[in-house]
Structure 1
Amino acid sequence: MKRTFELIAPCHFGLEAVLKKEILDLGYEISLVEDGRVTFIGDEEAVCRANVFLRTAERVLLKVGSFEARTFEELFQGTREIPWEEYIPQDGKFWVAKASSIKSKLFSPSDIQSIMKKAMVERMKGHYNVTWFPEDGASFPLRVFLYKDVVTVGIDTSGDSLHKRGYRTLTAKAPITETLAAALILLTPWNRDRILVDPFCGSGTFPIEAAMMAANMAPGMNRSFLAEDWKSLVPRKFWYEVMDEANDLVEQDVKVDIQGYDIDGDIVKAARANAAQAGVDHMIHFQERPVSALSHPKKYGFVISNPPYGERLEDKASLPALYREIGERYRALDAWSMYLITSYEDAEKYIGRKADKNRKIYNGMLKTYFYQFMGPRPPRRNQENRTIETETE
Structure 2
Amino acid sequence: MDKVTLIATATMGLEALVAKEVRDLGYEDVTVENGRIIYTADPMAICRSNLWLRTADRIKVRVGEFKALSFEELFEKTKALPWADFIPVNAEFPVIGKSVKSQLFSVSDCQAIVKKAVVESLKKKYSTDWFKEDGPLYRIEVAIHKDIATLTIDASGDGLHKRGYRYRSNQAPLKETLASALIMLTNWKADKPLIDPFCGSGTLPIEAAMIGQNIAPGFMREFASERWDWIGQDKWDQARMEVEDLAKYDQELDILGTDIDHRMIELSEHNAAEAGFNDIIRFKQMQVTDLRAKREYGCVIANPPYGERLGEKEQVAQLYKEMGKIFQEHIPTWSIYVLTSNEQFEELYGKKATKKRKLYNGKIRTDLYQYWGPRPPKPVAPSNE
Match of 1:195 in 2: 193
Deviation at 1:174, TM superposition (A): 1.1
Instruction: Choose which of 229, 240, 243 in structure 1 pairs with 2:237.
Output: 240
Match of 2:302 in 1: 305
On the 8 A contact 1:358/1:369 being kept in 2, the answer is yes
On the 8 A contact 1:30/1:38 being kept in 2, the answer is no
Instruction: Choose which of 147, 164, 179 in structure 1 pairs with 2:145.
Output: 147
TM-score with structure 1 length normalisation?
Answer: 0.94
Instruction: Choose which of 254, 275, 290 in structure 2 pairs with 1:278.
Output: 275
On the 8 A contact 2:183/2:301 being kept in 1, the answer is yes
Between stretches 273-282 and 159-168, larger displacement belongs to: 273-282
Instruction: Choose which of 125, 128, 131 in structure 2 pairs with 1:130.
Output: 128
Q: 1:384 to 1:86 in 2, by over 3 A?
A: farther
After TM superposition, which residue ranges in structure 1, 4 or more long, deviate above 6 angstroms?
none
Q: 1:360 to 1:162 in 2, by over 3 A?
A: same
Match of 1:224 in 2: 222
Secondary structure, counterpart of 2:87 in structure 1? coil
Give the RMSD, CA atoms, in angstroms: 1.5
Whole-angstrom CA distance in 2 between matches of 1:366 and 1:82: 38
Whole-angstrom CA distance in 1 between matches of 2:246 and 2:378: 28
Match of 1:295 in 2: 292
Report sequence identity in percent: 47
- The amino acid that maps onto 1:11 is A
- The amino acid that maps onto 1:281 is N
Gap runs ≥5 in structure 2: none
Whole-angstrom CA distance in 1 between matches of 2:361 and 2:108: 25
Whole-angstrom CA distance in 2 between matches of 1:259 and 1:383: 31
Whole-angstrom CA distance in 2 between matches of 1:71 and 1:328: 61
Per-residue displacement from partner, 1:167-214 (whole Å, max 9, x unpaired)? 011111211111111011111111101111000000111110011111
- The amino acid that maps onto 1:41 is T
On the 8 A contact 1:84/1:124 being kept in 2, the answer is yes
Secondary structure, counterpart of 2:2 in structure 1? coil
Whole-angstrom CA distance in 2 between matches of 1:296 and 1:60: 40
Match of 1:319 in 2: 316
Match of 2:202 in 1: 204
- The amino acid that maps onto 1:355 is A
Whole-angstrom CA distance in 2 between matches of 1:57 and 1:143: 17
TM-score with structure 2 length normalisation?
Answer: 0.96
On the 8 A contact 2:114/2:142 being kept in 1, the answer is no
Gap runs ≥5 in structure 1: 386-393
Deviation at 1:17, TM superposition (A): 0.9
Whole-angstrom CA distance in 1 between matches of 2:142 and 2:180: 26
Q: Establish whether residue 331 from structure 1 lines up as the match of residue 328 from structure 2.
A: yes
Q: Establish whether residue 268 from structure 1 lines up as the match of residue 226 from structure 2.
A: no
On the 8 A contact 1:170/1:271 being kept in 2, the answer is no
Whole-angstrom CA distance in 1 between matches of 2:271 and 2:160: 17
Whole-angstrom CA distance in 2 between matches of 1:185 and 1:30: 26
On the 8 A contact 2:19/2:30 being kept in 1, the answer is no
On the 8 A contact 1:298/1:334 being kept in 2, the answer is no
Q: Establish whether residue 24 from structure 1 lines up as the match of residue 20 from structure 2.
A: no
Whole-angstrom CA distance in 1 between matches of 2:41 and 2:368: 32
Secondary structure, counterpart of 2:58 in structure 1? coil
Whole-angstrom CA distance in 2 between matches of 1:305 and 1:30: 35
Whole-angstrom CA distance in 2 between matches of 1:174 and 1:23: 29
Whole-angstrom CA distance in 2 between matches of 1:95 and 1:256: 44
- The amino acid that maps onto 1:168 is R
Q: Following superposition of structure 1 onto structure 2, how do residues 1-393 of structure 1 map, counting pairs within 5 Å?
A: 3-97=2-96, 99-231=97-229, 233-332=230-329, 333-382=331-380
Secondary structure, counterpart of 1:247 in structure 2? helix
Deviation at 1:374, TM superposition (A): 1.2
Secondary structure, counterpart of 1:139 in structure 2? coil
Q: 1:30 to 1:309 in 2, by over 3 A?
A: farther
On the 8 A contact 1:58/1:161 being kept in 2, the answer is yes
Secondary structure, counterpart of 1:140 in structure 2? coil
- The amino acid that maps onto 1:379 is P
Per-residue displacement from partner, 1:318-356 (whole Å, max 9, x unpaired)? 111011111112112131111111112221111111211
Between stretches 256-265 and 100-109, larger displacement belongs to: 100-109
Secondary structure, counterpart of 2:251 in structure 1? coil
On the 8 A contact 2:23/2:30 being kept in 1, the answer is no
Secondary structure, counterpart of 1:40 in structure 2? strand
Q: 1:108 to 1:3 in 2, by over 3 A?
A: same
